[in-house]
C-alpha cells in the first residue's frame, strides 16, 4: 500500500502559511514545507523564523533557525523547504550574501487538515510505506564465500533528516556478522522518506539472504 498522492498534496498545500518576508514577491521559487504528520496529529503548531544566506544566483546557500517554533519536527520541515527557495537575482542585495534574509513560516492546523493527516497515517500501516524511494542494500561479497555467514538480520534505528534520508543510524541488534551490519547501515542511508516523516525516529530490520 502506498500513500494517496492527493492526500500528500493536501498536507503540503493547506498547513503552512508564509508570513512577513516569506510572503514577499522577491522570491521566484518558494516551495512550502509539508506539515509533519506527528505534529499535525498532536496538534503542534507555531512560527519558525529562519535566516537564509544566499548565493549570487539567488539560490540558498545556508539556512539557520533564528527562532524555533518549539517543535524540532516543524523546524526541520521549515529548514528543508527554505533550502529550496530562490530569490530573484535582480532583487539581490549585498547583505543577502553575507548576513542573509530573515523569513518566517507559520504552521497552523485546521480540523479538516487533522482528518487528512489521520487518513494518511492509517495508510502508513504497511512496512515501507513511509518511503518514496528505497535504494538497494547490497549483499556483501565476502558473505558469498562463507557458508556459516550466509544469512542474517540487522535491526537498525535512525532519525529521518531534513533531507528525507536516514541519519544517526545505529545498529540496535547485530546480525553477528560485521559485513552485514555495515552493508545495512550504508544501504539504509540511500533511502528517502516522504517529507511528512522528517524528524521521526524509526526501527527497521534488514535481512540478508543468499541467492540460490
In the chain, where the domains are located: 5-122, 131-208
Between 13 and 113, the higher pLDDT residue:
113
Average pLDDT over residues 172-196: 91
Residue 129's pLDDT is 65
pTM: 0.59
The CA distance from 47 to 106, in Å, is: 4
φ/ψ of 48, rounded to 5, equals -105, 130
CATH topology of domain 5-122: TolA/TonB C-terminal domain (3.30.2420)
Give the pLDDT confidence score for residue 10 in this predicted structure: 42
As a CATH number, domain 131-208 is: 3.30.1150.10
DSSP 8-state secondary structure symbol assigned to residue 196: G
Within 13 Å, how many C-alpha atoms sit on residue 19's CB side? 13
Q: What is the DSSP letter of 138?
A: P
The residue count of the chain comes to 212
Residue with grid cell 552493508, as numbered in its chain: 183
pLDDT-wise least confident of 53-67, 68-82, 134-148, 185-199: 134-148
Question: CA dist 130 to 8, 99, 102, 127, 133, Å?
Answer: 11, 37, 32, 8, 9
> How far is residue 54's CA from residue 52's CA, in Å, rounded to a whole number?
6
Q: C-alpha grid cell for residue 29?
A: 521559487
Amino acid at each position: 500500500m502506498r500513500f494517496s498522492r492527493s492526500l500528500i498534496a493536501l498536507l503540503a498545500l493547506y498547513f503552512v502559511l508564509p508570513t512577513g518576508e516569506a510572503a514577499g514577491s522577491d522570491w521566484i521559487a518558494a516551495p512550502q514545507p509539508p506539515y509533519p504528520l506527528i505534529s499535525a496529529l498532536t496538534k503542534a503548531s507555531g512560527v519558525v523564523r529562519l535566516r537564509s544566506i544566499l548565493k549570487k544566483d539567488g539560490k540558498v546557500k545556508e539556512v539557520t533557525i533564528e527562532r524555533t517554533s518549539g517543535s524540532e519536527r516543524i523546524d526541520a520541515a521549515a529548514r528543508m523547504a527554505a533550502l529550496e527557495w530562490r530569490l530573484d537575482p535582480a532583487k539581490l542585495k549585498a547583505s543577502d550574501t553575507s548576513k542573509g534574509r530573515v523569513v518566517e513560516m507559520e504552521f497552523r492546523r485546521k480540523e479538516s487538515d487533522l482528518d487528512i493527516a489521520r487518513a494518511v497515517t492509517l495508510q502508513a500501516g504497511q512496512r515501507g510505506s513511509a518511503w518514496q524511494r528505497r535504494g538497494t542494500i547490497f549483499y556483501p561479497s565476502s558473505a558469498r564465500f562463507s557458508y556459516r555467514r550466509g544469512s542474517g538480520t540487522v535491526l537498525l534505528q535512525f532519525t529521518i533528516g531534513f533531507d528525507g534520508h536516514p541519519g544517526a543510524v545505529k545498529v540496535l541488534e547485530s546480525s553477528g556478522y560485521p559485513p552485514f551490519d555495515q552493508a545495512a547501515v550504508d544501504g539504509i542511508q540511500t533511502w528517502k522518506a516522504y517529507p511528512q516523516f522528517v524528524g521521526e525516529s524509526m526501527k527497521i530490520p534488514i535481512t540478508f539472504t543468499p541467492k540460490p
